[in-house]
């Protein structure tokens, strides 16, 4: 469902994997994790920062409230304890002078890949498995906290993401993570932040070649899951009609059908979006739309259904999956009252989320809405509302910027995750320093 990173002249590049050593190590690590935590991962064990930190003098954008000039943000034990213009700074607190800077919540990328694989190379990704009916697949144990891409993403002030599995139809579950920690347990925010369903062109084959077939199969899976839940004893005695998927896949759909986990539906064409809204009504689901190229055409219906939309604000190239692509999609949706979440498939990487927000503003969205669309809106849509704002009690994921975070002239100067300042060195900065003078010093 993400557009491929490769471009026209490039097309796809099947990399013939010649990294057996790396793969071997990774396999061992995944197996080990599987043995230790067969069903669920324990809660985060990242040691939170302890001593108080006071960030002072900045213009603070809490998102949950109005902008605070010359504000202070107080952090303790990995949480925000106070935000305001007149915050009493406890004795012994570490003071960080942020005069002239901007402070925002850490940005959250709602359609991310970082960490799913060690290198960022497509062939080493861990975010998809074969087959089309994979509701039980969750890529958590394929996340590598040492992945190069995680450090790069942080340099763009992106502190968290929803890692959306790739593939068609029911590709799997999407975990939400913070982009810091030595072990995946440290990173996890929510193991199952969403179940993904693709209703776009990608899934026609799953339905036998027609969108109508795809919809019929979705309903059969949902109905079978409900039937299975009602008649488990019959299922165990084999006294039930054959079901449309293995029991573990149906079981995995139940949290969605109980409304506990949102169904993130990828849909671009207007009729696919309307089909998504039908599923929401029929099964009383929590739904988040992904991509939504023609969402602007049914903005009022989407708003009335209370469905947030995750979209790429620069997507304006028509395809037969979405002929109505236009740059002001986000703007029109906001005007209709839809909660818009900004993501992007920029091949420059997920670090560029802030520029996607800037482009949404360029295309007519308000700056405040754009900031919300990369902070609070994704946190709310995917159910982790202790992230995404600067307010007492919230997790201290935040960024000190040199200026307007959406523009090229500014940079993330300090990035805090759970109250800890993160390193902003990457492979890229090390290569730069190595080749700054030519020939490079040996």
Partner 1 sequence: MTRWLSPAGFAVLASACAGAGAQSSPAPQPAPAAATATPASTDSTSVDRPQYVSTYRRRTNPPVLIRNATVLTAAGQEIPNASVLFRDGKIVSVGTNLTAPSDAVVVDGSGKFVTPGIIDTHSHLGVYAAPGTFGENDGNEATNPVTAEVWAEHSIWPQDPQIPLAIAGGVTVMQVLPGSANLIGGRSATVRLVPARTVQEMKFPGAPYGVKFACGENPKRVYQNRGPSTRMGNMAGYRAAFIQAEQYRQRWDKWLKDRKGDAPGRDLRSETLAGVLRGDISVQNHCYRADEMAQMLDLAKEFGFKIRSFHHGIEAYKVADLLAANGTAASIWSDWGGFKMEAFDPILENAALVTQAGARAVIHTDSPDGIQRMNQDMAKAYYAGVRAGITLTRDQAIKWITANPAWVLGLDAWTGTLEAGKMADVVLWSGDPFSVYSKAEKVWNEGWLVFDRLDPTRQYKTDFNVGQTAPGVGR
- Enumerate binding residues for partner 1 (CB under 8 A): 5-11, 13-15, 119-123, 148-149, 270, 294, 296-297, 314, 316-320, 323-324, 332, 347-349, 351-352, 355, 358-359, 361-362, 406-409, 411, 427-429, 431-432, 435-436, 438-440
Least Å distance, CB 302 to partner 1, is 14
Pairing of strands 287-291, 263-267: parallel
The residues, any chain, with a CB within 8 Å of residue 51's CB and separated by 6 or more, are 76, 92, 93, 94
DSSP 75: E
Gap between the Cα atoms of 339 and 311, Å rounded: 11
Least Å distance, CB 296 to partner 1, is 8
Gap between the Cα atoms of 193 and 382, Å rounded: 5
- The number of beta carbons lying within 10 Å of the beta carbon of residue 62 is 23
- Residue located via tokens 């109508």: 212
Closer residue to partner 1 (CB): 244 or 359: 359
Closer residue to partner 1 (CB): 156 or 419: 156
Gap between the Cα atoms of 283 and 215, Å rounded: 13
Closer residue to partner 1 (CB): 147 or 197: 147
Least Å distance, CB 386 to partner 1, is 30
Closer residue to partner 1 (CB): 42 or 439: 439
Least Å distance, CB 173 to partner 1, is 25
Least Å distance, CB 340 to partner 1, is 16
Gap between the Cα atoms of 154 and 165, Å rounded: 21
For residues 374, 377, 378, 384, the Cα torsion angle rounded to the nearest 10 degrees is 130
Helix (H) or strand (E) holding 30: helix 20-36
Least Å distance, CB 26 to partner 1, is 17
Least Å distance, CB 348 to partner 1, is 4
Closer residue to partner 1 (CB): 11 or 248: 11
Closer residue to partner 1 (CB): 205 or 216: 205
Closer residue to partner 1 (CB): 118 or 194: 118
DSSP collapsed to 3 states, 167-224 = CCCECEEEEEEECCCCCHHHHEEEEEEEEEEECCHHHCHHHCCCHHHHHHHHHHHHHH
Strand ranges for 230-292 from DSSP E: 263-267, 287-291
Least Å distance, CB 182 to partner 1, is 23
Gap between the Cα atoms of 239 and 282, Å rounded: 27
Say if CB 346 and CB 419 are below 8 A apart: no
Least Å distance, CB 431 to partner 1, is 5
Least Å distance, CB 388 to partner 1, is 22
Closer residue to partner 1 (CB): 97 or 428: 428
Residue 297: name the closest of 356, 265, 338 by CA: 338
Gap between the Cα atoms of 350 and 161, Å rounded: 9
Gap between the Cα atoms of 325 and 291, Å rounded: 11
- What are the phi and psi torsion angles at 21 (to 5°)? -60, -50
How big is the CA angle at 293 (ends 291 and 297), to the nearest 5 degrees? Answer: 130
Gap between the Cα atoms of 325 and 268, Å rounded: 9
Closer residue to partner 1 (CB): 270 or 286: 270
Least Å distance, CB 308 to partner 1, is 21
Gap between the Cα atoms of 370 and 107, Å rounded: 11
Closer residue to partner 1 (CB): 102 or 355: 355
Closer residue to partner 1 (CB): 29 or 362: 362
């Amino acid at each position: 469902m993400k557009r491929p990173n490769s471009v026209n002249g490039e097309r796809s590049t099947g990399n013939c994997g010649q990294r057996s050593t790396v793969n071997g190590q990774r396999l061992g690590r995944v197996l080990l994790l599987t043995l230790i935590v067969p069903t669920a991962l324990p809660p985060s064990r990242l040691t939170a920062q302890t001593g108080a930190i006071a960030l002072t003098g900045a213009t603070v954008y809490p998102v949950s409230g109005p902008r605070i000039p010359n504000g202070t943000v107080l952090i303790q034990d990995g949480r925000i304890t106070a935000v305001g213009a007149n915050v009493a700074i406890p004795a012994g607190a570490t003071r960080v002078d942020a005069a002239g800077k901007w402070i925002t919540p850490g940005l959250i990328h709602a359609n991310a890949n970082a960490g799913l694989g060690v290198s960022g190379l497509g062939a080493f990704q861990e975010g998809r498995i074969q087959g089309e009916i994979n509701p039980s697949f969750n890529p958590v144990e394929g996340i590598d906290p040492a992945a190069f891409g995680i450090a790069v993403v942080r340099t763009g002030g992106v502190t968290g993401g929803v890692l959306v599995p790739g593939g068609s139809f029911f590709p799997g579950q999407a975990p939400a993570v913070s982009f810091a920690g030595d072990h995946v347990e440290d990173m996890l925010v929510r193991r199952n932040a969403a179940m993904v369903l693709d209703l776009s062109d990608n899934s026609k084959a799953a339905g036998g070649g027609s969108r109508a077939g795809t919809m019929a199969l979705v309903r059969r899976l949902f109905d079978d899951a409900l039937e299975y839940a009602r008649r488990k004893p019959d299922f165990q005695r084999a006294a039930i009609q054959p079901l449309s998927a293995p029991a573990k896949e149906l079981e995995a759909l139940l949290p969605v059908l109980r409304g506990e986990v949102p169904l993130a539906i990828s849909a671009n064409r207007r009729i696919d979006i309307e089909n998504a809204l039908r599923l929401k009504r029929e099964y009383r689901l929590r739904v988040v739309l992904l991509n939504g190229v023609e969402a602007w055409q049914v903005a009022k219906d989407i708003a009335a259904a209370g469905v947030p939309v995750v979209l790429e604000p620069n997507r304006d190239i028509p395809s037969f999956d979405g002929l109505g692509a236009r740059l002001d999609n986000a703007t029109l949706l906001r005007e209709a009252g839809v909660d818009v979440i900004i993501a992007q498939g920029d091949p420059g990487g997920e670090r560029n989320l802030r520029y996607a927000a800037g482009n949404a503003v360029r295309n007519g969205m308000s700056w405040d809405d754009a900031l919300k669309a990369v902070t609070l809106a994704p946190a709310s849509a995917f159910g982790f509302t202790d992230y995404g704002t600067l307010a007492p009690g919230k997790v201290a994921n935040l960024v000190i910027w040199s200026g307007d975070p959406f523009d090229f002239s500014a940079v993330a100067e300090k990035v805090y995750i759970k109250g800890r300042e993160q390193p902003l060195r990457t492979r890229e900065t090390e290569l730069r320093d190595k080749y700054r003078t030519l020939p490079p010093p040996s």
